[in-house]
Amino acid sequence: MSAVVAIAMLALVEYLYFGVEVGRARVRSGLKAPAVTGDPQFERVYRAHYNTLEQLIVFLPALFAAGYYVHELYAATAGVAFLIGRAMYFRAYVRDPATRGPGFLVGMLANLALVLGGLVGALVAAF
């Protein structure tokens, strides 16, 4: 499970990096906390970061379930795909939100693989 834990920690590092980018965008925009609207560039960085938070809620438990019930390599591979998808999504959303689809799809398919793997594995183990 070491690879699964490493992927989970990398996901948190990626999320923290996105948070730093939110802070940098806030400084560039001059937007004072707690405001989150008023500068389109800041809003894109903020939304990309927030969407990653929404995806992490699914990703982290599914990653551990798939690693436990299916296989560590399966979970780690899907986890790497998730990280790549999130990076693609973040970069695209910040540049032009209309281009965020491919990154979103990669991350969503990775999450789906983890959720289904964890669910099927847990059901097989339970019954």
What's the confidence (pLDDT) of residue 60?
A: 99
CATH 2.20.25.160 for domain 2-126, yes or no, is: no
d(Cα 65, Cα 118) in Å, to the nearest integer? 5
Q: Tell me the whole-structure pTM to 2 decimals.
A: 0.96
Q: What are the tens digits of pLDDT across the range 12-51?
A: 999 999 999 999 999 999 999 999 999 999 999 999 999 9
* The two structure tokens encoding residue 58: 């699914």
d(Cα 96, Cα 88) in Å, to the nearest integer? 12
Alpha carbon separation from 91 to 5, 18, 57, 65, 104 (Å, rounded): 25, 10, 21, 29, 11
d(Cα 104, Cα 33) in Å, to the nearest integer? 28
Q: What are the tens digits of pLDDT across the range 47-77?
A: 999 999 999 999 999 999 999 999 999 999 9
Q: What is the DSSP letter of 119?
A: H
